[in-house]
Amino acid sequence: MAENAIGQSVVRREGREKVTGQAKYVDDLSFPGMIFGATVRSSVPRGRIRTISFEGTIPWNEFVIVTAKDVPGKNIVALIEHDQPYLADGMVNHPEEAIVLLAHPDKYLLEEARRHVRIEIDPLPAIFTIEDSLAQKEIVWGKDNVQKSFLIETGNMKDAWTNGHVVVEGAYETGAQEQLYIEPQGMIAVANPADGVTVRGSLQCPFYIHKALIELFALPPEKIRVIQTETGGGFGGKEEYPTIIAGHAALLAWKSGRPVKIIYDRAEDMVATTKRHPSRTKIKTAVDKQGKLTAMNIDFVIDGGAYVTLSPVVLSRGTLHSFGPYACPNVKITSKAVATNTPPHGAFRGFGAPQSLFAIERHMDRVARKVGLSPDEFRRRNFLSDGKTMPTGQIVRDGVDLSALLDRALELSHFHDKRRRFARENTTSAIKKGMGLATFMHGAGFTGSGEAYLASIVAIEATKEGIVRVLTSSTEIGQGKNTVFAQIVAETLRIPIDRIEVTMPDTAIVPNSGPTVASRTAMVVGGLVAEAAKNLKELLKKKDIHFPVKVTAQYQQPKDISFDDKTYRGDAYGTYAWAVYVAEVSVDTVTYEAHVDDFVAVQEIGKVLNPTLASGQIEGGVAQAIGMVLYEKVEWKEGRMVNGQMTNYIMPTSVDVPPIRVFFEGVPYRHSPTGAKGIGELPMDGPAPAILNAIEDAIGVSINKIPCLPEDILEAMERSRA
Amino acid sequence: MITPKNLDEALTLLADRAAGWKPCAGGTDLMVLFEAGKLNHTKFVNIAALTELHGIEERSDAIEIKALTTYTDILKHATIQREFPSLVTAAALTGAVAIQNRGTIGGNIVNASPAADSPPALLAYDAQVELISVKGVRRLAYADFHKGYKQMDLQPGELLKSVLLPRTHAELHHYYRKVGTRRAQAISKVCFCGVVEREDRIKNIRIALGSVAPIPLRARRTETFLIGKQLSSKIIDEAKKIIDQEISPIDDIRSTAKYRRRVTQNLLEEFLCGTGSTN
Amino acid sequence: MPKQIITCTINGQSQRLDAHPMSRLLDVLREHGLTGTKEGCGEGECGACSIFFNGRVVNSCLVPALQAEGATMTTIEGIANGEQLHAVQEAFLKYGGAQCGICTPGMIMAAVALLKEKPNPTEADIREGLAGNLCRCTGYMKIFESVMRVFKGKGTDLEETCPHK
C-alpha cells in the first residue's frame, strides 16, 4: 500500500466534489418549508436598551421575531466564562451585539424589515483601546477590565540589568486581522420541543456548539445534534462564532417550527464576527559580552473585546511563546487580556503566538544591531536546543537543531550575499531591498493540561463489506484532515485507501475528539486514529467477529509531560514545531509600498504525512501572514469596523504574493504514533517579524507595529528623518 | 429593468423624466450599490446590448471609443496599444479579468468616481466626449465634463455616446501609475497619468490625477509652469510645490491626505525624470 | 419587482429562468440548482461567482438577471465532460490547487478562461489571469502549479472539453 500510505501526496479525499462544484456548503442546502433568519444589532458600543420598536410598512405579523425573552434555557454563550448573552438583554457592550432576530420566507423583505427595527439605546461611556482599558478610563468588564492575567518568573531579575550588559527596550504592537475565509458564516437549524435541536453549518468545533446549545435550550445532550457541512475555510474564525449563529438560527427555528437558515453576507461577517486580538508588548532585555541573553522582561497585553470568549487561552498561548526559541536564565513575563467595547476578538490561526513572537523577533533584530552581531549570529548564540530549559521550566526534548535549520534557510535564501549586494545597490536605487529573518517555534496541541482535560476519543468502525469508517469530531476545513486520517488508517491496516471513509462530523454519530484548533488534528487526533486502527487490526485477528465492529482510542497524557496550571510551570506543550523564515523585501521609496519578493520557509514539523497538503498549509499561512503585515488593516470607529468590504479590507491577490519556498525537516514526535507534529498555525508566526526586519534592512527604519501599510512606512521614514 | 430595442427607444425612455428611468450597462458599479441597498432606484434601462454604443472606430484625426466598449476590448486594441498606451495600462489595472470583461469605458466615466482608473488617462490624452439624447448629440472636452464630486455636465435623459482620443504624430513619453495597496483589484489611492513631448525643453505636457480631488483632475497650473522649461532639480521641486497646491486629497478609509500629497509629488518627479514605470 | 421569464443557454441546455430582472445572476443560477457557483463577497471582488457569460469570464454577482436574456453561459457544473474531469480540474485535484474548495469553482473558471486565451502562459500571465479570484487557503502557489501543469501536460484536451473556444 506504499502509494496510499503516510508520507505520500495522496489526492484530497473530497477534492473531486470541490473541483466540480458538487461539494455542498451550508448555503447550498435547502429544506422543505425553510425560511431565512437575520440579526438586528446594537448601534452603539455600550449602553442600556430602552425600547425596541418595529416600524415602517413591513407586514410584521408575517415575521418570526425573537428577543432575549424567548430564550428557553440560559441566555449565555457557554464557553470559558459565562458572560456573553446570545441576545442582549438590557445592556449592550459592543456595537455589533445581537439584540433581535427576525425570520421570513422572503430574503428581500427580511432585509427590508431588518432596517426597520428601531432599537433605542441610552449610551454609556465606552473604551476602545488597550491603553484606556489598562488605565481603567471606564470599567467595562468585571472589577478592573482584566479578563485574564498570567505571570511567569524564573531566575533572578534583580542583578541582570546592572553589570555592564547591553540593555535594550522596545514596544511592539499588532492590529486586528480578519480571518476572511471566502465562505461567509452560516447555519441551518431545525428545532422543536419533540425532536430537539439540529443545526448544520460551516464550523470548526461541533462539540463547542453542542455544549452551548444544551445550556441555551435547557435540553439533554442527546436532544442536541450538530452536523458540519462542507466548510469554506476557518482559520479560527469558525471556532467560537458559529456557536452564536447556531444558537440564533435554532432560536428562530424553535419559535417558528420551521427550518431556519442564517447566512451572513460579507459585510456582516466582517464587522460582527471575531478577529485576531490586537496586542502590545513591551520587552526589556540584557545581553552579556558574549552576546548571550541574561535577562528578559516581557509585558504582553491583548485586547479581548467586550466579552471573554477564548481570550484567556489566546493570552496563554501568546504568553508561552513570548520568549521565542531562546534560552535565558532570568525571565519575567506578565500578561493580560483586557476588555474594550469592540466585538470580542477571537481565535485566529496562531492564537496569540503571532502577536508575541512578532514582538520578540523584532526585538532580537534590534538587539543584534545594538550589540553589533548579525541577526542570525545573535540568535544562534541564544537558541534553545535539546536539554536546555524554557522559562516555564520545560526541558526541550524535540531533537531539534535550530542552528542547522538556520544554516539551511540562510543558504536557500542567499541571505548574506543578498544583504551585501542590496546594501551596495540601495544607495543608487529608488527601490530599496532588504533581507530579514525570524526564528520561532509553535507549540502543538492544546496548551498545558488542555489535552489531558479534553481526553479526546476517536472511533473506527469496520463493516463486513470491508469498509472502514473513521469517526471523529475533527472537521475538514481545507487543511486535509479527511485525507490524512485515511492515509493513517490505510498505512496501519494495509488496506486500499478507497475502502476508508472519513465521516463528516455529526455529534449524533461521532465521539468527541475535540475541536479542530491548535494545530492538534494531525498530531493528536491523527495519533488516536492510528491507535484505534491498531486496535482494530488486533481485533480483526480474532475469530468469530460480528460485523460491524467498532473500536475506540482515547488520549492519555504521556507520563513525561506535565504542566501545572496554577504556577504556569512545566511542559506547556508536548512538542513544538520549529522554524526559520527568511523574507526578501523591496520598498519603493516613490510610493512607500513594500513588497515581498521571495520567501523561504524552513521548518521542522515531525513526520510529514502528506507533502502536498503540508506545504499547502505553509504556503497559505505565509500568504495570510503577509496579508497581516503589509495589506490588511481593520479601520475602527467607535469599536466598529468601518472597512468591512473586500474592496476596502485588502487581502493579497495572486499578483501580490512572492514565490513561497517551503522546506521541511522531520524529527518524528516521540509521543505520536505517526511521528507528526502540529503544522497549521506555525506559518502565521514568522512572516511578520521577518518582513519588518527586512524592511529595516532595506530602508534603515525601525518599524515595530503591524499592519505596516505604505502610509505607515511614509510616517516611519519621516519620523526617522526628523 | 427593461431592455429597449435600440438606442432611439432607450433615449425616448430616458427622456421621460417623470418615469425616472436610469441606464445600466455592465453593472460592475451599479450592482454593488444596488445589492448593498444604496440605490433606492429600481427602474433601469438595460443599455448593455445597444449595438449603436459598441465598437472602436479609427479615423485619421481621432479614435472613437463607443461608451459600451469594455476594458478588455480596449486593452486588446492594437492602435490604442500603440498610440494611447496609458489607457491600455489603465484598463489592465481596472479590477481583474472578470471586471474588465463587463465594465465599460462609459460606465467608468459616468459613475464619476474620483478614483476611477481610466479618467486620468483620458484627461492626459485630451479626450473629448459625445453625449446623446433625443435632442441630439453634443460634444465637449472631457476635461470640462466633471464638475464636482459626482457632478457632471450630463443632462437628464442624456447618455454618454463615445469618447474621442485625438491622434498625434508627436513623439510622446507616456507615464501611467496607479497606486493602490495591492497590485491588482485595487482602488487607487493615487493615480497619475502624464504625457510629455520633449525636445530640449518641455514642448507640451499634460498631467492628470485620480483620487486626489473630488473629480479626476487635470493639473493645469503644473502643466503651464512646466511648458517651455528645461528640467532641473530646481524646476522639478517647484513643479512639485505647484501640484501640491492643485490637489485637495482627503483622509478616508483607504489612505491619508498626507500620503496622497507626498506620493503625487513623488510620481510627478518620477514622471519628469523619466525613470519610472513608463509605457 | 415582478418576475419575468429569461430565456438563455446554460451548460449547453436551453433554459427558461423565472427571475426578477434586477436579481443577481448569481442568485438566479443558485436558485436554479447550480450551487457550484459561490458567493464570497457580492461586490465583484473575490471571483467565487465566476462563470462564462457569452464566452467571457464574468462575476455573476454583478450581472442583472435580465442581461442574461439570450446569453450563453457555462458554470462549473458544465466544465467536466460527464464523469471526465476537465484538464484544469484534474490538475487542481492532483497538485493541491483546492483546499477548502470555496474559491475553487470560480478559480477553475478563471483558469480555463486564461488557458483559452493564453495556452502557454508565463507565470506572470497566470498571476494576472487569476488576480480577480481570491484564495485564502493556498497562498496561490499550488494554484499556479496546477495551471502550469495543465499547459505543460495535456493542455490540448482543453479545446475538446471547453465549451467556448
Q: Provide the residue count of chain A.
A: 722
pLDDT confidence of A1, banded at 50, 70, 90? Answer: very low
Residue B138: how many CB atoms within 10 A of its CB?
14
CA–CA separation, B10 and B95 (whole Å): 28
Is residue C121 in some structural domain?
Answer: yes
**Taking 90 as the threshold, does the pLDDT of residue B39 lie above it?**
no
Q: What is the CA radius of gyration of chain A?
A: 26
Q: Classify each residue of A257-279 as buried b or exposed e, where b means 16 or more C-beta atoms within 10 Å of its C-beta.
A: ebbbbbbbbbbbbbbbbbbbbbb
Percent of chain B whose predicted confidence (pLDDT) is above 70: 98
pLDDT tens digits along A49-85:
999 999 999 999 999 999 999 999 999 999 999 999 9
Mean pLDDT for chain A overall: 96
The answer to whether residue B34 neighbours chain C at the CB level (below 8 Å) is: yes
Q: Which residues of A touch C35 (CB under 8 A)?
A: 21, 24-25, 27-28
Grid cell locating A25: 456548503
Q: Is the dihedral of CA A244, A247, A252, A253 positive or negative?
A: positive
Kindly report, residue by residue over A111-159, the tens digit of the pLDDT.
999 999 999 999 999 999 999 999 999 999 999 999 999 999 999 988 7
> Any idea what DSSP says for residue A81?
S
Top-tier CATH class for A279-447+566-721: alpha beta
User: What's residue B17's pLDDT?
Assistant: 87
For position C55, which CATH number holds?
Answer: 3.10.20.30
CB A191 within 8 A of CB A261: no
Contact (CB, 8 A) for A500 and A490: yes
Residue C101 to residue A230, Cβ atoms within 8 A = yes
Residue A161, judged by CB atoms within 10 A of its CB (0-12, 13-18, 19+), counts as: middle
Q: List pLDDT tens digits, range A421-476.
A: 999 999 999 999 999 999 999 999 999 899 999 999 999 999 999 999 999 999 99
Q: What is the CATH number of domain A2-23+450-556?
A: 3.30.365.10
For residue C121, say if its preceding peptide bond is cis, omega within 30 degrees of 0.
no
Query: How is domain B50-166 classified at the CATH fold level?
Result: 3.30.465
Our CA dihedral for A618, A624, A629, A630, rounded to 10 degrees, sits at 120
C-beta separation of A388 from A396 below 8 A:
yes
Q: Distance of alpha carbon B200 from its chain centroid, rounded?
A: 30
Cis peptide, bond prior to residue A707, ω within 30 of zero: yes
pLDDT at position C154, please?
55
Percent above pLDDT 90 for chain C: 90
Output the furthest CA–CA distance in chain A (Å, rounded). 84
A225, A180 Cβ separation under 8 angstroms: no
Inter-chain contacts counted by CB atoms under 8 A, chains B and C: 93
Residues 6+ apart with CB under 8 A from A626: A596, A599, A652, A656, A657, A658, A687, A691
φ/ψ (deg, to 5) at A659: -60, 125
Q: What is the pLDDT of residue A157?
A: 86
DSSP secondary structure string for all residues of C52-102: EETTEEEEGGGSBGGGGTT-EEE-GGGTSBTTB--HHHHHHHHHT--SS-S
What residue type is assigned to position C110 of the chain?
Answer: A
Report domain extents, chain B: 50-166, 172-273
Find the mean pLDDT for residues A464-493.
97
In this prediction, residues A188-203 reach a mean pLDDT of 97
Q: Has residue C164 got a pLDDT over 60? A: no
Burial class (CB in 10 A: 0-12, 13-18, 19+), C125: middle
* Three cell numbers written together for A64: 418570526
Select from A267, A635, A709 the Cβ nearest to the Cβ of B181: A709
| Euclidean distance between CA atoms B30 and B32, whole angstroms | 5
Fold match, A2-23+450-556 / A279-447+566-721: yes
pLDDT in tens, A626-679: 999 999 999 999 999 999 999 999 999 999 999 999 999 989 999 999 999 999
Collect all residues of chain A within an 8 Å Cβ-Cβ radius of residue C43. Answer: 266, 645-647
Task: Note the pLDDT tens digit of each residue in A613-640.
Answer: 999 999 999 999 999 999 999 999 999 9
User: How many whole angstroms separate alpha carbon C100 and alpha carbon C107?
Assistant: 12
Q: Which of C24, C42, C76 is the last residue of a domain?
A: C76
Whether residue A548 is preceded by a cis peptide bond, meaning omega within 30 degrees of 0, is yes
Can you give the CATH number for the domain in which C154 is found? Answer: 1.10.150.120
Hey, what's the torsion of the CAs at B252, B258, B259, B265, to 10 degrees?
Answer: 130
Q: Measuring CA to CA, how many Å separate C108 from each of A11, A18, C78, C95?
A: 17, 10, 12, 13
Minimal Cβ distance to B102: which of C45, C62, C134: C62
If phi over 0 gives left and psi between -120 and 50 gives alpha, with beta otherwise, what is residue B11? Answer: alpha
Write phi, then psi, for B228 (nearest 5 degrees). Answer: 85, -5
What is the nearest CA distance from B35 to chain A, expressed in angstroms?
Answer: 10
Q: 84-123 in C: which are within 8 Å (CB) of B?
A: 110, 113-114
Report the residue count for chain C.
165
* Closest Cα in chain A to C125: A655
User: In the prediction, which pLDDT does B41 show?
Assistant: 74
Place of cell 431556519: A260
User: B214 touching C, CB under 8 A?
Assistant: no
Helix (H) or strand (E) holding C51, with range, is strand C50-53
pLDDT tens string C1-41: 689 999 999 999 999 999 999 999 999 999 999 999 999 99
Q: Is A267–B36 a contact, with Cβ atoms under 8 angstroms apart?
A: yes
- In this structure, what DSSP letter does residue A389 have? B
Residues C9 and C71 in one domain: yes
Which CATH number is A31-124+180-272 given? 3.90.1170.50
Residue of chain C nearest B48, judged by CA positions? C67
Q: Does B62 touch chain C (CB under 8 A)?
A: no
- In angstroms, rounded to a whole number, what is the distance separating the alpha carbons of residues A198 and A34? 14
Predicted pLDDT at A4? 54
Q: Does C118 share its domain with C139? A: yes
Q: Do C21 and C66 form a contact (C-beta atoms < 8 A)?
A: yes
Using CB atoms, which chains have 3+ pairs under 8 A with B?
A, C
Largest CA distance in chain B: 60
Q: How confident is the model at residue C151 (pLDDT cuts 50, 70, 90)?
A: confident
3-class DSSP string for A369-387: HHHCCCHHHHHHCCECCCC
The SS3 of residue A339 is coil
**Domain range B172-273, CATH class:** alpha beta
Give yes or no for A107 touching B (CB within 8 A). Answer: no
Domain count, chain C: 2
Residues C91 and C55 in one domain: no
Contacts of B208 (CB under 8 A, 6+ apart): B119, B120, B121, B122, B123, B124, B192, B193, B194, B216, B217, B218, B219
The alpha-helical segments, DSSP class H, found in A458-601 are 481-493, 526-540
Cβ distance A710 to A592 under 8 Å? Answer: yes
Residues C64 and C112 in one domain: no
Helices marked H in A426-569 — which ranges? 450-454, 481-493, 526-540
CB A274 within 8 A of CB A346: yes
Strand pairing report for A705-706 and B22-24: unpaired
The per-residue pLDDT of chain B, averaged, comes to 95
Q: Domain residues for C12?
A: 4-76
List chain A domain ranges.
2-23+450-556, 31-124+180-272, 279-447+566-721
User: Residue type at A513?
Assistant: S
Query: What pLDDT score does C165 carry?
Result: 32
Please tell me the distance from the alpha carbon of residue A379 to that of residue A328, in angstroms, as a whole number.
12
Tell me how far apart the alpha carbons of residues C117 and C109 are, in angstroms, rounded to a whole number: 12
* A285 band by pLDDT with thresholds 50, 70 and 90: very high
Name the residue among A43, B156, C46 with its Cα closest to residue C37: C46
Last residue of a domain, one of C76, C106, C138: C76
Compute the distance between CA of residue C54 and CA of residue C70 in angstroms, rounded to an integer. 9
Q: pLDDT tens digits for B194-227?
A: 999 998 899 999 999 999 999 999 999 999 999 9
* Nearest-CB residue to B182 (from A430, A642, A652): A652
- Give dist(CA B193, CA B126) in Å, integer: 12
Record: contact A20-C94, CB cut-off 8 A: no
Task: Return the pLDDT at C143.
Answer: 98
